[in-house]
Structures are given as structure tokens and as C-alpha cells.
Amino acid sequence: MSENTIRKRLDQLRREIDEHNYRYFVLADPSISDAQYDALFREAQEIEKSHPNLITIDSPTQRVGAKPLAEFTQVTHKIPMLSLDNAFTEAEVSAFDRRARERLHLSAELEYICEPKLDGLAVSLRYENGIFVQGATRGDGETGEDVTENLRTIATIPLRLRGHDYPSSLEVRGEVYMPKAGFSALNKKAEVHGEKVFANPRNAAAGSLRQLDPRITAKRPLALFCYGVGIFEGKDIPSTHSEVLSNLMTWGFIVNPEIEVVTGVEKCLKFYDRIAKKRPQLAYEIDGVVYKVNLLKDQKRLGFISRAPRWALAHKFPAEQVTTILEDVEFQVGRTGALTPVARLKPVSVSGVIVSNATLHNMDEVRRKDIHIGDTVIIQRAGDVIPEVVEVIKQHRPAHVKKITLPNDCPVCHSQIEQAEGEAIARCSGGLFCPAQRKEAIKHFASRKALDIEGLGDKLVEQLVDTHLIQNPADLFALTLDQLSSLERMASKSAQNLLDALEKSKKTTLARFLYALGIREVGEATAKSLAQHFGKLESLFSATPETLKTIRDVGPIVANHIAIFFSEDHNLKVIEKLIKAGLHWPTIIKSQTDLPLVNTTFVLTGSLSELSREEAKEQLENLGAKVAGSVSAKTSYVVAGVEAGSKLKKAQDLGVNIMDEKQFMDFLKKLKVDVN
């Protein structure tokens, strides 16, 4: 038999298998028996085994073909995967509808598409010319993890789109979840084998999707519902969100069958009530419903605020409440020294999760709710996530309950506990000397938005502190290859990689350095304002609260935190050690009007190889430029990296100046920006 004949037979088998997968998983209407399907699948496998040159990535036999990964790589979402604002009351939903109609200047009722809000893991699926090429988790909305090989194992995700009338470039957004039945079976199997069981379906889905070995993911009962698109190029996008979902179904995706298009906010609330009643019978876990303005041009006009769209809202179900006994209270010490009272409870199931601890927030809350050790309390998972004590059932209070009191000394380092007048939070005065703060302070120092020390994860930080190799961030830069190589699960190559990462991190910016110090309530924006105002680190050492209060993003409380931090001798000693270790940054032009890119607007699109999008944005902002998310006639420059999409086309249509990556890097170098 000629190879051409074999190829034709293999193509035919793939088409038949894809069709039967679609009928089985999407339509739930199989047309052949399992035995007949298995025969087709085995025949395709045998042909590919004998002719490996005919194997393609979209072959249905290749869902599990990848080797285990060493780690996940990062993926930058071309169009951010935004989170949703939450509503918990009908009044909040009505207010959302009113704001939307006011912004659109509409007196008539809006059309909404309503859908159950799955309790799963958001992902993006990218298709080029109909072939699945990349899948990623949502991550922080801007950057996620490449989980392509794991997503390929999910049978409800098509490896090749059906039909031919699809966009040349398509990014589908959806929610990976684990059905209730599959979750129950998975935990039963784990119990039989003496393995750890999952707390709930969401944790099981997330853990399954983040396995480095796709073969493990393939054994987990995962599924996916699609809820929208990101990139949609090479074809006119429909006029409504509901039409987009209809197209996705045509191309082989599963869309939640409960989705409904309604007119007006009252119909939205009726949908919420219907789904809430139906929730126990659904085959999957949900924690609310989502309302989206259906007309895409209205979505575009409404736009976004911060990281959430103005055209969508998550209407959450009320948190489940249960009663249990508060058996004891312990105090945890956080990164900034804040003491949090934690209730130790008689274990109880809340929303499918066994809860034995709950936050009491602070001592003001303890006193306000009149909570005692020994009380019967009502607890709930706030937002279905963090357990909290809601109230005490006082009629069940026993005679000998124990009052909860703030300790005099830190439970970790035994330093004095301080509580400023008017503040609800008490803090350990041990600063960088407190082991509890020490670990968290170093983790924060090494985090991505701080010094971004690659390879220095939380567990390694804990190991370094526990083995007394480091006591503060400056000690990181004194570590040796021998010290690191002697650690458990740390080979010489990994040790050298960490030393290289530490060396690389020495070149930073003043804003990142200030953020990395972990000063109370000094986030990224405040750190940038401080860096731009003072220009030099030394100028901050003697800055008074009065001076600090004049700076953008700095109020009286934050000013006091900053002044106290730099007045502490042990903090200055750590900073001195860091500077001596070689940490440095470019000189900052203090006057905003002197910045070379003031009054210019840049838009970044596509992938850059020499800088991350975040680094490029930081460089531009440090030079006075504004970095926008969309292209308009007012845009000064568009920087187009690899696989630039619709923003590049719009820039070309508007005649906006466009730079490729090389031109952009040369442009920065001309401005004397150190980009290496």
C-alpha cells in the first residue's frame, strides 16, 4: 500500500474519530458503540506507529503524547483575562444595570446574557488556522502558565476546529472544572490507595491542570465550558455575545446549556433565582451567576475599570453558614508583624470543605462580636474562600468560657507587642529579627514585582531561614555554591542558577527596591512616587512625615510608616549591606517636566524577546510616557512585537508611528536607558 493511500486512510480515520468525539462529548448523542470507536482509534494508532512521519499535533491519538515538564513557562495574554466585580444583593445588581444604561445613554432595558458562574479554573485556548496551538491559565490576568499539553488531554477541547468558517486566529476563553461525579470517584479511588483526598472539585481541577506530567492530568475527569473569546482575527466578529457562543458550539466547543438571553434587570434576577434552586441538581459546582451585556458594541462602549469590565457582573450566592465550637485561639504573625487571632474550631464541613480554622480578623472584631473560647459560633466561607466567624450563639454559651486576650509578647520571637492608639491591629516589634516576619519579608523581597529573583520560591526561602543560612534579605547575596549545594533537593546546577539569578537581580530600579523592602502599605504605585520624588535612596533616610505627605499616593498614615521604617537602625543596616552587595539602579530624573517622553502615549502589542511587556512598560513610565491599553488617534507610538494583532492593524489604519522590537530597543538606548 502506497504512503499516499495510507495517508488518506489516516485522514479519514481522524475525521471519523473527531466526529464521534463531537457527537459523544458535545452532543451527548453517540452514533456507534464503544467497541466500534475503540477499533477506529486503534487502527489510527497502528498507522501512526508504523509511519511516525504522518503524526500531527491535531491527531486525536496525540492527546497524551508529551513528556513530563521540568516547569511551566509563562504566557503573556495579548488581551488581558479580566476578573469580574461581585454583587451579593439585588440592589447591587440593579445599580450595575443603572450605571450601564446611564453610560450608554439608554432609557430602554438592556439585553443581557446570563450564565452560571462555574467554580473552576479560567483558561485561554489559542487556535491558528483551526489547530489548537497553545493553552494557558488566567494567572494574574496579564500573565499565566503554559498548560497546553495538559489541556490537550481534556476530551471536550477540540484539537482541530470543526467546519471551515472560523477565524484564522482565535483565542477561546473558558472554565476547566471537575464534575461532581468525577470528583467523588477520584476521592474514593484516593481513599482506597491511602492517598490524600481533595477538599473540593475546584482544588481538584486546579491541581490536576497544574501537573507537570500530562499523563496524570489525562487520568483526571476534567471538562470545559466556554464562555467567550479574546483574539478573533481573520473573520468579522458577530454583533452579540450570544452569537459568539453559538459560533463556538458550531466549531466544536461545549457551552453551558443553562445560558439564557434576557431583557432587563428583573429577568436577570429571575435567572439567578432559577439557577439557585437548580444548583443542587447541577452536575458541577457553581458559586453564582454572571450577567453580561449581550451587544458587543455596547460592551466596547462601556469599557473597563481597573481589572474588571463595566459590562459584566458576577452575582454570588450567599455564603453557606454552619455552627461549631470555638475550642481555642492562636495568634499568627504576618509579614508586617500584624497579629491575627485565628479560631481553632471543632472541624465542620462548609460548602464541601472541612474547616477547622477561621479568621477573627483583629481584637476589635473579637470584642465587637463578644467572642470567647468555648462559644458556639456561626462560621461561613467569606466569598466561598476564607472561613470567618460571623457571630456567637450566646444562648448556647457555657458557664466557664475563657476571654480572648492579646498576648504581651510575640508568639514567635517573644518581642514586645505594640498597638498604636486608634489602630485595630497589634504588631510584633521584632521587625526583621522575627522569624515569622523574616520568612515573609524575604519572600516579598524576592517576588516578581520586587527583585524578581528567579528560582527563589517560598519553600527554598523557608529552607534557607530554617537552616540559618539567611536572616534578612541582604544575606541572600552572601550565599555560596557550597552552601546552596548542601541543601536538600538542591543540585549544583540549580544552586548555580540561583546564584546567577541573585547576581542578575542586583540591577533593578529604585522603585522596585523600595517596594521590595516591604514597608507597611507601600505598594508599587507608592514606591514609584517615592522614587520619582526623591531620586536618591539616601534622601528618604531623613524624610519627615510632613515632607512625605506632600507626595502623590502618600497619606499621613503611610508617611508615618515610611518615616518609622527608615528611622530604625536595623533596617538601615540591612539596606547598607544590600548596597555593599552590589544592588544598583539607574539615576532617576526627578522633575517630571524634564523626562524625555512626557506627554507621549505608547501602546505595547505582541511578544518582546529582550524585555517583558511589564519591563517595557516600566521603562517607558520611568521616562515620563503614558502606556495605554488601546490604540487611538492620540497614540504617539505602537511597539509591535512578535504576533502583534488587532492593535497593530488599527495603528496602521490610523497612521500611528510603529516600532518593531529592534527599533524600540534602539530608541531606548538613544535615551540612555540601560536595557541590558
Buried b (16+ CB within 10 A) or exposed e, 66-99: eeeeeebeebbbbbbbbbbbebeeeeebeebbee
- DSSP notation for 549-580: TTSTT--HHHHHHHHHHHH-HHHHHHHHHHHH
Active site residue 507: no
Gap between the terminal Cα atoms of the chain: 58
- The angle that helices 569-580 and 556-567 make with each other, rounded to 10 degrees, is 70
Set of cell numbers at residue 254 = 461545549
Q: How many alpha carbons lie under 13 Å from residue 181 in its C-beta half-sphere? A: 4
How many Å separate Cα 273 from the centre of its chain? 30
Residue in 117, 292, 443, 528 annotated catalytic:
117
For residues 593 and 630, the answer to whether their CB atoms sit within 8 Å is: no
Counting Cβ atoms within 10 Å, is residue 540 exposed (0-12), middle (13-18) or buried (19+)?
buried
List the Cα angle 564/566/570 in 5-degree steps.
100
**What stretches of 568-671 show up as alpha helix (H) in DSSP?**
569-580, 613-622, 646-654, 661-670
H-helix or E-strand spanning residue 630: none
Q: Which residue has the cell 466526529?
A: 19
In 3-state terms the chain splits into helix, strand, coil percentages (rounded to 5) of 40, 25, 40
Strand order in the sheet with 286-293: 86-87, 312-316, 286-293, 111-118, 260-263
* Residues belonging to the active site: 117
